[in-house]
Amino acid sequence: MTRSLWSSYVRSLSTSCIQHQNVLSSLQTDSARLRLVLWRPSKTHERHIVRVSHNHTKLEHRAFIALGGNMGDRVAMIEEACREMEKGGNIRILRTSSLWETKAMYVLDQDNFVNGACEIETSLSPIELLNELQSVEKRMGRVKVIDKGPRNIDLDILLYDNLTHSNERLQIPHPLMLEREFVLRPLCEMIPEENLPSHSSSAAKSLQHSLSLLPRSEDPLSPMTPLAPNLSSISAFQPQRDTRIMSILNVTPDSFSDGGKNYNIDQVTLTNTIKSHITSGATILDIGGQSTRPGAVQVSSSEELSRILPAIKLIRSLREANNLAISIDTYRADVAEESIKAGAHIINDVSAGLMDDAMLHTVAKLGCTVCLMHMRGTPETMSKLTSYPDGIIETVGRELLDRVRAAEAAGIRRWRIILDPGIGFAKTQEQNLEILRRMGELRQYPGLQGFPWLVGTSRKAFVGKITGVKEAKDRKWGTAAAVTAAIQGGADIVRVHDVEEMGQVAKLADAIWRV
């Protein structure tokens, strides 16, 4: 930092609050003691930095923190640690990696770990940051029994600006990071082409290059996406994973395929329908209280909630639904909030936050999993927005990546995101087919690797046009072919009306391709 910039910084801090004066004092001390080189992101990193959209003052330093643990509810512990880090106002999480389940290193006789990383802005010096992270661990009840042994939470500083630092308490960069796949993989999701600080021993190597030098693991690491407390997470890189069946429960009078079937019906009939979906293999139940078919009347939030909340309450009362995830098909933030508070687990937003500016911030606050679907316009206008001059895969990938970045900027953790290519939404028949044909390419789109994908083709118009089946409820055979194609392409979840039949299709498709 130049003398003039430093003087300007001192003047601005001197007019601030006492908290800022304390930060200034620590920064002055650290600058005299340490050789600080302010971090300059490469052009590659500049393209991937997520700027938070809240009206916060930008904090001075950027760092990367490792997150891990192998005791209790491991994901919940990491999420609690993220909240605790931000409580004091001196740390702001810009974005996170996925979470990766890994076997223990060094001390092998312990449970699997969940590991990830986060990029932060902070006003704290390295030692102050270490103190704060250790304070978080202490507040969360961490007790160190043996070195590298079991722990409920583990927070380590990996990188801090472009700084190298070494004393008896702290070494930056983290001395063991280049030998740990569970550290490098999360970092490579965020900054793959970044090098270590120029004055460190491994400075010439990018993180991605360092990762490539590690021996291939016998059990390849896979990112994990939590769905519900009693339901196993999705591991999108696990080749033997089962396809999850999301059954559709529309409690509307006007949905395109089953409108009215479950609308204002008696509780006994609805209970039997829900139980039959579960018995047939559904592990996610997607409740819709507002039709998104072209031309559908948009009801009020209160009307939508009056349809959804009784269904959530009923499902939560069923013993058979203990291992079920409840998803809510809505694009409204207030509906999402009330639904999650009532016991739902997932928000399935067809607009990926574009139809309600409050949606992404609301989901971040709720801490739930969200499905971001590709769509253009609204259900009323989307059929006119089907021009993709750069190609359907390139454009859908790019536009979904924009929504992922918006979600991260709002505070949604990467491990809480599911993607949907939006079959039938702002797509022509040929575009729908091309997406199904090239799903594998979409899954590998730069920046989207590792996310789980939901694909919904059930009974849609393009299926009817190709097969010549006019009535939506009779399009089972065509839907079966589309579901098979989606699974071959790597879909993790298929959203269906005919649960029993498509559950059988998914089982056979899994037996063929998930090996």
Amino acid found at 109: D
Q: Which residues of 209-228 are buried (b: 16+ CB within 10 A; e: fewer)?
A: ebbeeeeeeeeebbbbbbbb
Q: Which of 92, 376, 475, 495 is catalytic?
A: 495
Distance CA 260, CA 250 (A): 8
Residues 59, 122: contact at Cβ < 8 Å?
A: yes
Q: Is 199 helix (H, G, I), strand (E, B) or coil?
A: coil
Residue 265: HSE in the Cβ half-sphere, 13 Å Cα cutoff: 19
Strand partners, 249: 287
Residue 315: HSE in the Cβ half-sphere, 13 Å Cα cutoff: 29
- Chain centroid to Cα 243, Å, comes to 18
460 tagged catalytic: yes
Q: Is 206 helix (H, G, I), strand (E, B) or coil?
A: strand
Distance CA 32, CA 50 (A): 31
- Chain centroid to Cα 329, Å, comes to 17
495 tagged catalytic: yes
Residues 155, 133: contact at Cβ < 8 Å?
A: yes
Distance CA 342, CA 497 (A): 24
Q: Which of 460, 465, 475, 514 is catalytic?
A: 460
Active site positions, annotated? 460, 495
